[in-house]
Amino acid sequence: MKKANAPKIAIAVAFFLACTKVIFGILVNSMAIVSSAADSILDVISSSINYIAIKKADEPPDEKHPYGHAKFESLATYIQSLIILASGGFIFYKSILKIVHKQAITDLNTGIYIMIISLLSTTLLVIYLTIAAKKTKSSIIEADALHYKVDILSNLGILIALIIIKYTNFQIIDPILSILVAFYIIYSAINLNIKVSMDLLDAEIPAEVKEDILNILKEFDKYHLDTHRIRTRQAGNNKFLDMHITLCRNLKLEEAHKITQLIENRLKEKIDNLDVTIHMDPCDEKNCPGIEACNNHKIRID
């Protein structure tokens, strides 16, 4: 599955919904449908940012971005989380206004039809994006799926409210449902924001992957005197590791390098998309295990 396909389909669905809502909103002169159209236009913009970021993130490292372009994806996801947060805040604000101003909803039938179309197409899109996110392990497609899941909820909220109002004329149900939806949206946005901030803030890789790295280093205990200053960070699916390793001062560089190569290869074999930089330190003269240990190393390596 190509990563870049997911946002393309999302853009198409959002664009279709935006057009439908604008046309019907103007035809029946309904503010509710037009403001829902504004949300769909925001969706088109946000999925377009994702499309560009995914394209960019796949580019290999170059002169300007020597560590690759994966953080374009992280930053786009971050922007996405802020857009979701803002739309949650906006729904909350509009709901309060509705309660204060006691605006009655008109055009119930058109509203219900538009919301059913919107709900069905968005649900199909979310199912597709969720599968795509799992297959590609892409944070940005996951963010996109969350974004449209939030749209399902807000559409469902509007639909239920419209139906209840149609049969009971209980107008206040609309802003009450909207406020509940707004809280859920804000909660989801903050979660996504915290998760992707780790990437942007150069936080350590997840504890279980770090654990795997430390276990692999332990396997090579006999080859080195110690490992220290182990630092990790990640960008999208890519993980970066740099560390120091202490080896016998009497080893030849060729032999010492073979040890780092062994460790590096083993790490890369076990952990996907890992970038490793190992700095070699010589042992102290006092603590030197002596030439015998060096020979020992040599025998093991060859």
CB-wise, 95 or 232, nearer to its own copies? Answer: 232
Other beta carbons within 10 angstroms of residue 15's beta carbon come to 16
Task: Say which amino acid occupies 124.
Answer: L
CB of 106 vs its own copies, minimal distance in Å: 23
Does position 282 interact with its own copies (CB under 8 A)? The reply is yes
- Judged by beta carbon, residue 164 or residue 271, the one nearer its own copies is 271
If the CB atoms of residues 179 and 248 are measured against its own copies, the closer one turns out to be 248
The three state secondary structure string of 48-111 is HHHHHHHHHHCCCCCCCCCCCCHHHHHHHHHHHHHHHHHHHHHHHHHHHHHHHHCCCCCCHHHH
Which of residues 67 and 183 has its CB atom nearest to its own copies in the complex?
67
Is 45 a residue that touches its own copies (CB under 8 A)?
A: no
Structure tokens at 275: 């970038």
Write out the DSSP string of 187-211.
Answer: HHHHHHHHHHHHHHTTPPPPHHHHH
Q: Looking at 24, 51, 72, 223, which residue binds its own copies (CB under 8 A)?
A: 72
- Pairing between strand 226-235 and 238-247? antiparallel
> Which one of residues 235, 263, 267, 274 is an interface residue with its own copies (CB under 8 A)?
235
Q: Which of residues 252-271 bind its own copies (CB under 8 A)?
A: 252-254, 256-257, 260
* Dihedral of alpha carbons 265, 267, 270, 274, sign: negative
Residue 75 or 115: the one with the smaller Cβ distance to its own copies is 75
Q: Which is nearer to its own copies, 117 or 281 (CB)?
A: 281
Minimal distance, residue 227 CB to its own copies, in Å: 14
Does position 3 interact with its own copies (CB under 8 A)? The reply is no
Query: Residue 174 has which token pair?
Result: 């609309």
Point out which span in 10-18, 94-102, 155-163, 245-253 binds its own copies (CB under 8 A).
245-253
Q: Shortest Cβ distance from residue 163 to its own copies (Å)?
A: 33
Sheet holding 226-235, edge to edge: 226-235, 238-247, 274-282
Q: Which long-range contacts (CB under 8 A, 24 or more apart) does 130-136 make?
A: 132/1, 132/3, 132/5, 132/6, 133/6, 135/1, 136/1, 136/3, 136/6
**Least distance CB 252 / its own copies (angstroms):** 6
Q: Is 273 helix (H, G, I), strand (E, B) or coil?
A: coil
Residues in contact with its own copies, counted by CB under 8 A, come to a total of: 44
Q: Which stretches of the chain bind its own copies, using CB under 8 A?
A: 61, 63-69, 71-72, 74-75, 78-79, 82, 197, 200-204, 230-233, 235, 242, 247-254, 256-257, 260, 277-282
